[in-house]
Amino acid sequence: MSPQELWDAVLGELELEVSKANFHSWCKDTFILSMENNVITVGVPNDFTKQWFEKKYHERVLKALRRIRDEDVKRVIYEVSSKQKASAVQASPTVKAPVEKKEHPTVIVQKPAQEKPPETTSEKGVAFGLSPRYTFDNFIVGKKNELAHAACLAAADKPGVVYNPLFIYGGVGLGKTHLMQAVGHSVLEARPDAKLLYVTCETFTNEYIKAVGEGGAHQFKEKYRSVDVFMVDDVQFLAGKEGTQEEFFHTFNFLQQYNKQIILTSDRPPRAIPTIEDRLASRFEGGMTVDVGPPDLETRIAIIDQKCKEKNYPLEPEVSQFIASNVQNNIRELEGALNRVIGKHQLDKSAPTVDSVKAVLSSVGGTQKRGAVTPKKILTTVSDYFDIDEESLKGSSRKKELVVPRQITMYLMREETHASFPNIGAELGGRDHTTAMHACTKINKLLDEDEKMENDVSMIKQRLYNS
């Protein structure tokens, strides 16, 4: 089997396991660069793809390679390289092609030549609806947002060319709006004459309804179709709005056709938005889809330190560590907690200590609200998330659309409230405890294998702890 055939077979397996949009985004221009001593090197087009393979697809690639290849596969590594370059040098499949320079080729934003004073572009950004605070400079990159960050840098570097649309999804307060607007600022710095438009989905909807009502459809179209970068925040709110979806669809197509950059955010991936038209969901998936997740501890500490620096209010390391350990859900909450701590201590003219901070956070309920998650809340959250009613979730129908959410509910009751299996069965309309056990085993297994499941469960948890 030639390296090419081997890789085609691996991609064939991968294609069955990941979404179509992801498959097209990530797998094109990948190939086997070399096979030496049972170490397979896969060539990928850029650093961003390399990270993605390492983080998300590695297990699958390794598994597939081991299954398909007769000989043992010890290790798989990924290297940035282009196919042409590789084949030009590749005399035999085992000769290694030179690797392109390790700098992130697609994700570096050229620093703009500073002919214009920076205030001008920032003021311009504000006129287009951007907040001056949301720039790449003050965005902290951690494990859970690095891919989204890299994708945004790439889009800012080559608007309309590389990832169109760029679809960013994740729970509340995790930096989606910040990242999206950072692209806007960055495009403006490089091209001060670019026309941008940032709107929330709500604004788009309201303006559309108003335009239809007042006969201003023409101005509406003109406004939305004349931009170079179109940013729409929280597109999950298109759910259920047919007329707006229709208009959105046309705006989208128009802009895309002219290679105008479109960036969208949502609290969930395109297919998971309830009652969204198929054609719109498939447009949303047609470019690049990236997620942001809740930050880990190191990232939270780095964010606190950064915010303190901005505010010129230094904190002792153990104090920022304490805040970061106790406020885990999202970054907006983290900022809120920090502001309360600073506010309170400025008022008292005292220096924050771990004890004084503990008092501030607990007095306003800023620390983890884990205790507040109950089986009832899980039922409500899951049914909201999947847009099904609670009675059906508890009921006896075995339709797939109900069975999976029901199993997720049982799994979450077990994981998040430590409820006993008999209790879980009782909460779900008097089911047997073995049903609950089976559900937990099944979801646990799926969480390892199925990206959509992983995402759904993490979104639901986000909501559980954020409301």
List of residues contacting ligand ADP (CB under 6 A):
134, 138-140, 145, 172-178, 303, 331-332, 335
**DSSP label at 276?**
-
Judged by beta carbon, residue 122 or residue 131, the one nearer Mg ion is 131
Q: Per CB under 5 A, which of residues 147..176 are in contact with Mg ion?
A: 176
Residue with tokens 């604004």: 203
Rounded Cα–Cα distance for residues 174 and 322 (Å) = 20
Q: How far apart are CB 286 and ligand ADP at their closest, in Å?
A: 22
Question: 290: which strand partners?
Answer: 168
Instruction: Please give the Cα distance from 359 to 139 (Å, whole number).
Output: 29
By residue count, the chain amounts to 467
Our finding on whether 81 is near Mg ion (CB under 5 A) is no
By C-beta, is 81 or 145 nearer to ligand ADP?
A: 145
Containing 339, the helix (H) or strand (E) segment is: helix 331-348
Tell me how far, at minimum, the Cβ of 381 lies from Mg ion, in Å: 20
* Residue 160 vs 175, nearer CB to ligand ADP: 175
Looking at residues 430 to 459 of the shown chain, list those that interact with Mg ion (rule: CB under 5 A): none
* CA angle at 401 for the pair 397 and 406, rounded to the nearest 5°: 70
Closer Cβ to ligand ADP, 78 or 465, answer by number: 465
Residue 256: how many CB atoms within 10 A of its CB? 18
Shortest separation between residue 242's beta carbon and Mg ion, angstroms: 24
* Among the listed residues 46, 68, 48, the one whose alpha carbon sits nearest the alpha carbon of residue 56: 48
Phi, psi (rounded to 5 degrees) for 69 = -90, 140
Out of 22, 177, 205, 409, point to the residue binding Mg ion (CB under 5 A): 177
Answer with the entry of Mg ion, ligand ADP, none that 64 interacts with (C-beta below 5 to 8 A by kind): none
Query: Nearest-CB residue to ligand ADP?
Result: 175
Q: Is 236 in the site for Mg ion (CB under 5 A)?
A: no
Tokens of 441: 């085993």
The answer to whether 181 contacts Mg ion (rule: CB under 5 A) is no
The Cβ-side half-sphere exposure at 179, using a 13 Å CA radius, reads 30
**Could you tell me the smallest distance in angstroms from the CB atom of residue 272 to ligand ADP?**
16
Q: Are 277 and 243 in contact (CB under 8 A)?
A: no
Q: Does position 409 bind Mg ion by CB under 5 A?
A: no
Whole-number Å distance between alpha carbons of 372 and 374: 6
Task: For Mg ion, give the closer residue by CB, 178 or 414.
Answer: 178
Identity of residue 98: P
Residue (169 or 248) nearer to ligand ADP, CB = 169
Closest distance of CB 151 from ligand ADP, Å: 14
Which helix (H) or strand (E) segment holds residue 448: the answer is: helix 433-449
d(C-alpha 80, C-alpha 82), whole Å? 7
Nearer to ligand ADP, 423 or 458 (CB): 458
- Least gap, CB of 139 to ligand ADP (angstroms): 5
User: How many residues touch Mg ion (CB under 5 A)?
Assistant: 2
CA–CA distance, 77 with 226 (Å, rounded to integer):
44
Closest distance to ligand ADP from the beta carbon of 312 (Å): 17
In the complex, minimum distance from the CB of residue 132 to ligand ADP, in angstroms, rounded to a whole number: 11
What distance in Å separates the CA atoms of residue 25 and residue 409, rounded to the nearest whole number? Answer: 32
178: partner contacted, choices Mg ion, ligand ADP, none (Cβ within 5-8 A by kind): ligand ADP
* Binding partner of 303, given Mg ion, ligand ADP, none, CB within 5-8 angstroms per partner class: ligand ADP
Please identify, using beta-carbon distances, which residue of 291 and 427 lies nearer to ligand ADP: 291
Cβ neighbors of 3 (< 8 A, separation 6 or more) are: 31, 32, 34, 35, 93
Give me the residues that bind Mg ion (CB under 5 A), please: 176-177
